């Protein structure tokens, strides 16, 4: 395809079609092959609960970062999006102006042309003098183009506003954030930051740096992201050139998403080029997919709760009789919502409460003081329909809790079933962010993870510090690991149980 564009004529929408420049190099230039590859990657990605207001996705060749990018774009498939604002940092000679918008025509890919929302692009340019229509700046840049085939497959009717930034300085970030919040419609819009992560350290260093950067992004605090990246760059990691080439776009996306109501940030997927068979483990680039969204607390009616409890019991009984989980999909759409959950099984035989012993699993909770624990297992990520999570964890609690013997079909009648539905994990950095009796905690460091449900600390009468120390024991970590680099998350639960 030709890459010629008459800039002098670019004020004409018909003339301002930006041709692809990396098709056939970074991704296929044959439409059928491209559609097949993108669809395969999207179908392999896990959907999660929530509709994105903001995304961070990588922009390398599809063989390196395609699966990570698909994890982000997959979340748009079931939404009603009409507009995608795609922001990238310039990778070529510096822009002549701080912010360059392609405001006419569209971007062409082998799958067709993605039209620009010209009215909104013009309104954006009018909103701040630092924002300019600069098609020449976009001609040889790949970070926006590389995202478009994914967008075309999940949102075929989406229009775009393509934006390049020259600098992540606070003035430019604030200017673009305010302008976007001024002009964007309230509904049907997603803001997308096109950015890779660590550039060129060895595999192990990139993994550590990228996990730290993603943890900072997941806090939702822009100042935390800036401070974390400044600290990482000051460490002198060999061959680390940047922690995020699109830092400015990431910060703008965070700010716009928060301004439009996002209160939760979720890391969806991570990989680096060293994971690819064509990668070099001594010199890698990191890739992360992140979603910013508004959490809608899950509220279930009494009837819906009773349905899930009956479903758990029927599933356990069916599995104990046939060694297969019965297929019992509900009609109620509320039970198709994706969420994590725990299922706890107890019998009427009383058992004194004991402090938790160290466990290797992240999916086992602690006995309550009044009933004998018969099994407790959970599924943490919100990537499966709620009813399916309840079925799977009910069977696991009955048959696969390694602390306890499996439940028999004869003993099932004496068991009380309790379900705890998890809110999204929220990363925390201060002990004061924990409310005893309200928050459960998850800790993660390296390969070790541990989780305690909210009622554990309340029943035991623990302080926040004791709660954290016991959480570390659960994960088989030193008792002060929560102060020494471990990742800490809080969550709440919607809990209900059978009445017998």
Q: Percent of the chain at pLDDT above 70?
A: 93
Q: For residue 296, what pLDDT is reported?
A: 84
Residue predicted with more confidence, 152 or 366: 152
Q: What is the pLDDT of residue 344?
A: 96
Give Dmax over CA atoms of the chain in angstroms.
Answer: 83
CA distance 2 to 18: 10
Average pLDDT, the chain: 91
Please, which pLDDT band fits residue 427 given cuts at 50, 70 and 90? confident
pLDDT at 305: 97
Whether the pLDDT of residue 362 is over 70: the answer is: no
Structure tokens at 480: 């002060």
Q: What is the DSSP letter of 115?
A: E
Kindly report, residue by residue over 209-228, the tens digit of the pLDDT.
999 999 899 889 999 999 99
Q: What is the mean pLDDT of residues 246-253?
A: 98
Asked if the model's pLDDT at residue 13 lies above 60, the reply is: no
Q: Element (H or E) spanning 108, and its range?
A: strand 106-109
Q: Are 382 and 362 in contact (CB under 8 A)?
A: no
User: Residue 105 in 3-state DSSP?
Assistant: coil
pLDDT category of residue 14 using cuts at 50, 70 and 90: low
Ramachandran angles phi, psi of 84, nearest 5°: -125, 120
pLDDT in tens, 59-73: 999 999 999 999 999
Mean pLDDT of 251-273: 95
Q: Is the pLDDT of residue 5 over 70?
A: no
Long-range contacts: 257-260, Cβ < 8 Å, 24+?
257/53, 257/54, 257/191, 257/292, 257/293, 258/220, 258/292, 259/177, 259/181, 260/53, 260/181, 260/184, 260/186, 260/189
* Res. 93: pLDDT tops 90: no
Structure confidence at residue 54 (pLDDT): 98
Of the chain, the percentage scoring pLDDT greater than 90 comes to: 80
C-alpha–C-alpha distance, residues 342 and 393, integer Å: 7
pLDDT(369) > 70: no
Is pLDDT at 354 greater than 90 in this prediction?
no
Neighbouring residues of 78: CB distance < 8 A, sequence distance ≥ 6 = 47, 51
Higher pLDDT, 321 or 14: 321
Selected residue with higher pLDDT from 358 and 480? 480
Mean pLDDT, range 374-379, rounded to an integer = 94
Phi/psi class of residue 485: alpha, beta or left (left: φ > 0; alpha: ψ in -120 to 50)?
left
| pLDDT in the model for residue 370 | 61
Q: Could you tell me the residue ranges of all domains in the chain?
A: 7-293, 302-497
pLDDT the model gives residue 350 = 54
pLDDT tens digits for 280-319?
999 999 999 999 999 888 899 999 999 999 999 999 999 9
Average pLDDT rounded to a whole number, residues 326-355:
81
pLDDT of 12 reads 56
List, for residues 109-132, the tens digit of each pLDDT value: 999 999 999 999 999 999 999 999
pLDDT value of position 29: 96
Q: Is 43 exposed, middle or buried (0-12, 13-18, 19+ CB in 10 A)?
A: exposed
pLDDT band for position 353 (cuts 50, 70, 90): very low
Rg (CA), the chain: 25
27 touches 55 (CB < 8 A):
no
Q: Given this model, what pLDDT does residue 11 score?
A: 55
Mean pLDDT of 383-388: 91
pLDDT band at 92 (very low <50, low <70, confident <90, very high): confident
Q: Where are the alpha helices (DSSP H) in 144-246?
A: 148-154, 170-183, 203-218, 222-234
Domain 302-497: give its CATH code.
Answer: 3.30.700.20
CATH 2.40.110.10 describes domain 7-293? no
């Amino acid at each position: 395809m030709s890459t010629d564009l008459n800039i002098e004529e670019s004020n004409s929408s018909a003339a301002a079609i930006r041709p692809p420049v990396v098709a056939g190099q970074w991704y296929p230039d044959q439409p059928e092959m491209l559609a097949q590859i993108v669809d395969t990657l999207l179908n392999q990605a896990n959907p999660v609960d929530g509709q994105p207001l903001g995304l961070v996705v990588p922009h390398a060749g599809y063989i390196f970062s395609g699966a990570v990018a698909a994890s982000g774009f997959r979340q748009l498939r079931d939404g009603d999006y009409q507009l995608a604002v795609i922001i990238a940092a310039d990778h070529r000679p510096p822009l002549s102006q701080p912010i360059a918008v392609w405001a006419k025509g569209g971007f062409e890919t082998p799958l067709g042309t993605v039209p620009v929302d010209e009215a909104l692009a013009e309104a954006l340019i009018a909103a701040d003098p630092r924002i300019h229509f600069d098609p020449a700046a976009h001609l040889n840049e790949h970070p926006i183009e590389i995202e478009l085939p994914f967008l075309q497959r999940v949102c075929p009717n989406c229009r775009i506003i393509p934006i390049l930034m020259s600098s992540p300085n606070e003035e430019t970030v604030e200017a673009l954030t305010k302008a976007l919040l001024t002009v964007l419609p309230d509904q049907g819009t997603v803001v997308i930051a096109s950015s890779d992560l660590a550039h060129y350290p060895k595999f192990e260093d990139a993994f550590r740096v990228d996990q730290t950067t993603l943890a900072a992004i997941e806090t939702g605090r822009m100042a935390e992201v800036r401070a974390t990246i400044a600290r990482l760059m000051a460490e002198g990691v060999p061959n680390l050139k940047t922690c995020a080439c699109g830092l400015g776009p990431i910060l703008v996306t965070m700010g716009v998403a928060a301004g439009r109501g996002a209160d939760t940030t979720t890391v969806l997927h991570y990989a680096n080029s060293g994971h690819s068979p064509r990668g070099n483990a001594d010199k890698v680039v990191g890739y992360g997919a992140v979603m910013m969204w508004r959490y809608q607390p899950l509220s279930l009616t009494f009837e819906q709760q009773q349905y899930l409890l009956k479903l758990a019991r029927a599933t356990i009984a069916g599995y104990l009789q046939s060694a297969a989980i019965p297929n019992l999909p509900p009609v109620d759409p509320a039970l198709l919502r994706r969420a994590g959950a725990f299922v706890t099984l107890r019998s009427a035989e009383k058992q004194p409460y004991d402090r938790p012993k160290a466990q290797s699993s992240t999916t086992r909770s602690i006995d309550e003081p009044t009933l004998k624990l018969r099994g407790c297992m959970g599924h943490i990520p919100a990537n499966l329909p709620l009813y399916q999570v309840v079925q799977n964890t009910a069977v696991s609690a009955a048959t696969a809790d390694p602390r306890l013997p499996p439940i028999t079909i004869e003993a099932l009648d004496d068991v009380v079933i309790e379900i705890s539905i998890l809110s999204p994990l929220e990363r925390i950095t201060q002990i004061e962010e924990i409310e005893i009796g309200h928050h459960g905690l998850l800790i993660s460091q390296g390969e070790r993870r541990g989780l305690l449900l909210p009622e554990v600390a309340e029943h035991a009468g623990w302080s926040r510090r004791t709660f954290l120390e016991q959480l570390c024991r659960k994960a088989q970590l030193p008792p002060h690991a929560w102060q020494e680099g471990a990742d800490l998350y809080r969550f709440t639960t919607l809990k209900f149980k059978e009445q017998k």
